Homo-oligomer: A and B are copies of this chain.
Amino acid sequence: MQFYYYTLVAGVAALVIALFAAFYVLKESEGSEKMKEIAKAIKEGANAYLKRQLYTILAFAVILSILFLFMDNGLSIVIAFIVGAAASYITAYLGMSIAVKANVRTAKSAEKGLNEAFRTALLGGSVTGFAAVGFSLIGLSLLLMYFTTLNIPLLIGYGFGASLISLFARVGGGIYTKAADVGADLVGKTELGLPEDDVRNPATIADNVGDNVGDCAGMAADVFESYSVTLVAALLIANSIPNAPTSLFAYPLYIAALGIIGSFIGVFFIHVKKGNVTRALYKNILLAVIISAILDLVLTSALALPMSYFIAIVSGLLLAFLLFWVSDYYTGGGSKPVIKIATAARGGAGTNVIMGLAVGLRSTWLPAVFVVAAIIASYAAAGVYGIAIASAAMFSLTATILTIDSFGPITDNAGGIAEMSHLPARVRKVTDHLDAVGNTTKATTKGFAIGGAALSATALFVAFANAVHINVIDALNPLVTVGIFIGVLLPFIFSSFLMEAVGHAANLMVEEVRRQVRTIKGLMQGKAKPDYAKAVDIATVNALKSLALPEIVAILTPIIVGLLLGKAALGGLLVGMIPASFMLALTMANAGGAMDNAKKYIETGHFGGKGSDAHKAAIVGDTVGDPLKDTAGPALNSMIKVVSTISILLAPVFLTYALMP
């Protein structure tokens, strides 16, 4: 019996878990009419955005599909591409659909207590987590079944489909969420002195929509893609080993499948003890890591593979945990770097941001050392295949990580709904607490996503070399040098588009909010309702407008380099792009996360607390950090995978048509 029947079953099992969790969440009460109304507005905004984004995606997908048809195996590639893209989109859409229902139910269940609200939010998040894993495994298994032989362009087509959706979701969602957030905060908090999520702020619904389309749908598509591409890379590398036994192909997929068990136990059997939510989430991950490690050990032995392979697995699992920890160290509330930034806020907004950028830049070194150590250890254990296995082991935790990540927007929204519908202080205390924890988990899962993307891109890079039939990418060859320059350049220019888009859209949002405050009579007294829809529309339109350019740059750059400068330069491009994107993404994510928590640190009463000059300075830092951590930083993950997969996918084209040999 072929191994992919097992992985198909595992994928179905993951979907069943997701359905079960969704069922559990949906049977919870939605609360009062007021709460339902707010939740409905958020849901409609989020759905409307995802629907309109789909049109832009379709335009790209159709053009690319037509181009693929001209290649050998064109039809198969297009089918695989569409399957990958559809699986990713459905995951993101489904996850978000549950998230926008779980938010109000979390707020409602907060009446019963912290543990109940925690459970609702976590189960809501787990729908995204398990759906991602389920759809990815099912999609891959079906392709393997249908085409029976291992077909490289096909697998890569699948990966590229997932990457493309991921890029759209990350870029569009990221711009949306931060345009709304920055716009809402700049006028609401700074100028008008309103609290977060105040009903009188016209941008507040848009802000809550943004959390769902950015943090939930965006992250889901991102990690779905890393998960899928990691498995694809492992299959390709196994395929490049002469006379590889079937077990080498089954191994990474089985590791992924076993991760479902570890994640399931982690998510469904953890409770909050003594009100310590963070501790519960940490335990969740640790449990998933340990159970996965044990199961993988059994697997390695059962497949009669060398035990040294298990070292690669441990490297991957350990890396996941360490990346989680290091993000927490640099951005967690009350950590040393965060206090440093808060202290600098006493000197003003300028020194606050300077210190925030310093912390972001600094935060790259430990993750880099961890990734490097994982590469060395897994390579020493099992060669290049070991790197792929480490990557698969790391992403076998996907369900857990995505659950914890989606927990963020759900609790954030729950806090917003509780505030806007004026729930009692007791309930809001619960939702605020969960919201704060969700903020930190959102930041820490980014470290995982970025590090994982770098590791799996490194494995993909080897797959690229196989695809273009080269054994050496010599950095002393000036064409490679030039490729490396372009590769390092790519993340800089790509993130500049996103930063600019947010800056621009946020400015429009600020002007709109100011306009509504000025023209709608009684708004500030709470007698008149703001025009939420107009703010939602601004975020939607501007996110969609800013989508195309960065996408085109990411897709066209490797094509142009491959055609003009040839495969060696394109190899150089990948070599430069991966580490540069990794460092830049970490810098941005952690600078933003740390400045966010520095502001929160001051809000808890330090250096004068809320309303002090230090607080005002810290709000500026938080604003600058917003697009760094939630737009530009995370989108780089998707970028490196799109560039890598399209480079492999078009390898035959470059081999035939490139100007340079």
Contact = CB atoms under 8 A, between A and B. Distances in A.
Interface of A: 182, 186, 190, 340, 343-344, 346-351, 353-355, 357-362, 364-365, 368, 371-372, 375-376, 379, 384, 387, 458, 461-462, 465, 471-476, 478, 480-482, 484-489, 492-493, 495-497, 499-500, 502-504, 506-507, 510-511, 571-572, 575-576, 579-580, 582-583, 587, 619-620, 622-624, 626-628
A347 B476 contact: no
Given A344-B503, A375-B481, A500-B362, A354 B493 contact: no
A647 to B, nearest CB: 14
A583 B484 CA distance: 12
B623 A510 contact: no
A379 B476 CA distance: 12
Q: Which 7 A-B pairs have the closest CB atoms?
A: A350-B623, A361-B496, A358-B499, A362-B496, A488-B579, A358-B500, A355-B503
Number of copies of this chain in the oligomer?
2
Contact of A365 (B346, B360, B489, B587): B489
Nearest to A466: B476
B368 A507 contact: no
A475 B571 contact: yes
Contacts of A580: 488, 579-580, 583
Contact of A350 (B182, B372, B485): B182
A485 B624 contact: no
A200 to B, nearest CB: 19
Interface residues of A, dominant DSSP: helix
B186 A379 contact: no
A344 B465 contact: no
A583 B375 contact: no
A353 to B, nearest CB: 5
B354 A624 contact: yes
Given A350-B182, A358-B499, A376 B475 contact: no
Contact of A506 (B354, B376, B511): B354
B489 A351 contact: no
Contacts of A488: 488, 576, 579-580, 582-583
Contacts of A384: 478
A358 B489 contact: no
Contact of A348 (B190, B354, B375): B190
B355 A499 contact: yes
A461 B458 CA distance: 24
Contacts of A623: 348-351, 354
A467 to B, nearest CB: 13
A480 B480 CA distance: 14
A362 B624 contact: no
Most chain-B CB neighbours within 10 Å: which of A364, A485, A622, A627?
A485
Given A357-B624, A620-B349, A476 B472 contact: yes
A143 to B, nearest CB: 28
Given A351-B186, A506-B351, A485 B372 contact: yes
A628 to B, nearest CB: 8
A379 to B, nearest CB: 4
Given A182-B351, A475-B571, 11 more contacts: A340-B500, A343-B507, A349-B620, A350-B619, A358-B500, A358-B503, A372-B482, A471-B476, A472-B472, A475-B572, A488-B580
A263 to B, nearest CB: 29
Nearest to A628: B357
Nearest to A478: B379
Contact of A482 (B343, B376, B482): B376
Nearest to A371: B485
Contacts of A471: 476
Contact of A496 (B358, B376, B504, B620): B358
A364 B458 CA distance: 25
A497 B511 CA distance: 38
A364 to B, nearest CB: 5
Contact of A484 (B343, B344, B482, B579): B579
Contacts of A362: 492-493, 496-497, 500
A436 B368 CA distance: 42
A644 to B, nearest CB: 14
Nearest to A353: B624
17 contacts: A182-B350, A190-B348, A347-B510, A351-B503, A351-B507, A351-B510, A354-B499, A354-B506, A355-B500, A357-B624, A358-B500, A360-B496, A365-B489, A365-B492, A475-B572, A484-B575, A488-B580
A336 to B, nearest CB: 12
Nearest to A190: B348
A475 to B, nearest CB: 4
Given A478-B387, A499-B361, A510-B348, A353 B354 contact: no
Given A354-B503, A358-B499, A496-B359, A368 B489 contact: yes
Contacts of A371: 485
Contact of A346 (B364, B376, B486, B507): B507
B620 A353 contact: yes
A186 B620 contact: no
Contacts of A349: 349, 620, 623
A97 to B, nearest CB: 31
